[in-house]
């Protein structure tokens, strides 16, 4: 009877163990026959899978995914498919100057052009994408918004992508002036729509590929290329036509105490020869920045000391140089500098024309000294006032 009870008890304990693997009997009789199970396996952390991956046509391996009746080992070729590289955060763009940009959507294309590229307030009239004109504008940009297959665009296709292309063109009217302030240009535009993707999440919406296109020293004085903050730039510069250029004129002589640097006249030419022609006058009449009547980028700026004067003008190009290669589009600025009194006078001044108010303003003194800028300003009275011609280093128009 005792043996039978012992057998029943053993069977009962075995059943309990199968139901509850953490049950451990206290009776030493059965302890030797029961194995304590191992801790459950810790699950692997979730993979940081991308939402989707773009792939080329050569990476589409449809044969490996066909149904089969037999169980087979997963081919090694599929390992990178099931274990893709971890998703990386998108790179942020560090460039802030994007003259031409575009966004490619599933059914339309947006093209954006910076207004600051143009000096002509009516530039939008001469700006087109294919056959489509500008149809929106803000304070900073012109926009051309059009359907994917509109504006006489081209559609092409290859194994990997469907490509819609067009051309942004700017074709201003011809001018009768000696110099041109804007050049015609064209920019190729393309939107690439990828055909093949691998999806790692249900119901993903593929993100369409987006791309944004688009001094010299003479006799103790100098005129130097600087930036808008007044920091000196490399001697040889290149500018786009219409781009602002900043210059600093400095007197290095020690006998400038009590006197201030002024500019009598400045002109641009295509030669370092002071007598070469043609020339384009940007400053005249003893300190009147006359180019300001044509372009708001022409103005004087405060300088750090009395021996320095800073100003800016928009880059221009002589018409007969338009057909020349870029390395032949060399320009210089030549200025006549003088030292004058601390307080500006009609004969020694730094006057900027304000296009918004249609008035002349003096950089440091009373605006009344600029009244003569629209007529003829008097020459300096002092017979011992010395003048000096200075020339900049060359720059290229690209």
| 225 and 374 inside one domain | yes
Model pLDDT for residues 293-318, shown as the tens digit of each residue: 988 899 999 987 888 999 999 999 99
Q: What is the mean pLDDT of the chain?
A: 78
Which uninterrupted H or E stretch holds 79? helix 79-82
Nearest C-alpha neighbor of 135 from the set 107, 119, 113:
113
* pLDDT confidence of residue 386: 72
The share of the chain scoring above pLDDT 90, in percent, equals 24
**pLDDT higher for 189 or 49?**
189
Strand partners, 330: 396
| 245 and 330 inside one domain | yes
Contact between residue 369 and residue 344 where contact means Cβ atoms under 8 Å apart: yes
- CATH of residue 115's domain is 2.60.40.3210
**pLDDT higher for 377 or 160?**
377
| 249 and 384 inside one domain | yes
Measured CA to CA, the distance from residue 260 to residue 350 in angstroms comes to: 11
| 227 and 309 inside one domain | yes
Find the domain containing 348 and state its range: 216-397
* pLDDT confidence of residue 202: 60
Assigned domain for 37 exists: no
Last residue of a domain, one of 199, 232, 266: 199
Model pLDDT for residues 163-187, shown as the tens digit of each residue: 888 999 998 888 777 887 778 888 8
* pLDDT confidence of residue 194: 81
Nearest C-alpha neighbor of 49 from the set 84, 21, 90:
84
Strand partners, 361: 352
Asked if pLDDT for residue 325 goes beyond 90, the answer is no
Assigned domain for 333 exists: yes
What pTM was estimated for this model as a whole? 0.53
Assigned domain for 376 exists: yes
Beta strands across the sheet bearing 141-147: 100-104, 108-114, 141-147, 136-137
| 250 and 373 inside one domain | yes
Number of domains in the chain: 2
Nearest C-alpha neighbor of 397 from the set 106, 181, 146:
181
Last residue of a domain, one of 172, 199, 226: 199
Assigned domain for 146 exists: yes
| 338 and 265 inside one domain | yes
| 265 and 343 inside one domain | yes
* Candidate from 64-78, 114-128, 227-241 with smallest mean pLDDT: 64-78
| 244 and 392 inside one domain | yes
Name residues whose C-beta falls within 8 Å of residue 142's C-beta, 6 or more positions apart in sequence.
Answer: 112, 113, 115, 123, 124, 127, 134, 136
- CATH of residue 333's domain is 2.60.40.4100
Last residue of a domain, one of 199, 233, 254: 199
Q: What DSSP assignment string belongs to 170-196? A: E-PPP--SSEES---EEEEEEEEEE-E
Assigned domain for 230 exists: yes
Angle at 54 between CA 211 and CA 60, to 5 degrees: 145
Strand partners, 223: 216, 249
Assigned domain for 49 exists: no
Residue with tokens 């600051």: 116
| 164 and 117 inside one domain | yes
Contact between residue 53 and residue 59 where contact means Cβ atoms under 8 Å apart: no
* pLDDT confidence of residue 89: 56
Measured CA to CA, the distance from residue 33 to residue 395 in angstroms comes to: 95
Assigned domain for 40 exists: no
Measured CA to CA, the distance from residue 132 to residue 152 in angstroms comes to: 8
| 388 and 294 inside one domain | yes
Which uninterrupted H or E stretch holds 17? helix 2-19
| 104 and 169 inside one domain | yes
Contact between residue 49 and residue 87 where contact means Cβ atoms under 8 Å apart: yes
Asked if pLDDT for residue 38 goes beyond 80, the answer is no
| 186 and 264 inside one domain | no
Mean pLDDT to the nearest integer, 74-92: 66
Assigned domain for 47 exists: no
């Amino acid at each position: 009877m005792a043996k039978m009870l012992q057998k029943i008890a053993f069977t009962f304990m075995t059943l309990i163990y199968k139901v509850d693997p953490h049950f451990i009997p206290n009776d030493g009789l059965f302890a030797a026959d029961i194995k304590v199970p191992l801790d459950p396996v810790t699950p692997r952390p979730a993979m940081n899978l991308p939402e989707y991956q773009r792939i080329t046509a050569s990476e589409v391996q449809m044969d490996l995914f066909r149904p089969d009746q037999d169980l087979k080992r997963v081919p090694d070729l599929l390992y990178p498919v099931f274990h893709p590289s971890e998703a990386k955060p998108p790179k942020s763009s560090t460039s802030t100057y994007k003259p031409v940009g575009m966004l490619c959507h599933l059914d339309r294309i947006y093209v954006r052009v910076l207004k600051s590229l143009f000096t002509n307030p009516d530039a939008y009239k001469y700006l087109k994408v294919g056959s489509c004109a500008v149809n929106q504008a803000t304070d900073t940009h012109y926009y051309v918004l059009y359907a994917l297959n509109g504006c006489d665009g081209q559609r092409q296709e290859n194994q990997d992508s469907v490509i819609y292309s067009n051309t942004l063109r700017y074709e201003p009217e011809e001018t009768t002036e000696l110099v041109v302030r804007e050049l015609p240009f064209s920019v190729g535009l393309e939107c690439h729509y990828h055909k093949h993707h691998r999806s790692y999440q249900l119901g993903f919406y593929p993100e369409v590929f987006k791309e944004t296109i688009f001094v010299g020293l003479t006799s103790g004085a100098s005129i130097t290329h600087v930036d808008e903050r007044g920091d000196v730039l490399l001697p040889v510069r290149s500018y786009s036509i219409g781009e602002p250029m900043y210059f600093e004129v400095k007197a290095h002589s020690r006998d400038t105490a009590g006197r201030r640097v002024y500019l009598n006249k400045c002109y641009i030419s295509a030669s370092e020869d002071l007598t070469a022609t043609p020339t384009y006058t940007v400053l005249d009449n003893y300190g009147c920045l006359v180019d300001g009547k044509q372009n708001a980028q022409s103005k004087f700026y405060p300088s750090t000391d009395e021996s320095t004067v800073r100003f800016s003008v928009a880059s221009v190009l002589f018409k007969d140089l338009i057909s020349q290669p870029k390395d032949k589009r060399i320009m210089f600025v030549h200025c006549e500098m003088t030292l004058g009194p601390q307080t500006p006078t009609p004969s020694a001044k730094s006057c900027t024309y304000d296009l918004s108010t249609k008035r002349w303003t003096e950089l440091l003194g009373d605006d009344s000294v600029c009244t003569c800028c629209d007529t003829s300003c008097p020459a300096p009275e002092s017979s011992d006032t010395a003048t000096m011609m200075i020339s900049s280093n060359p720059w290229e128009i690209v």
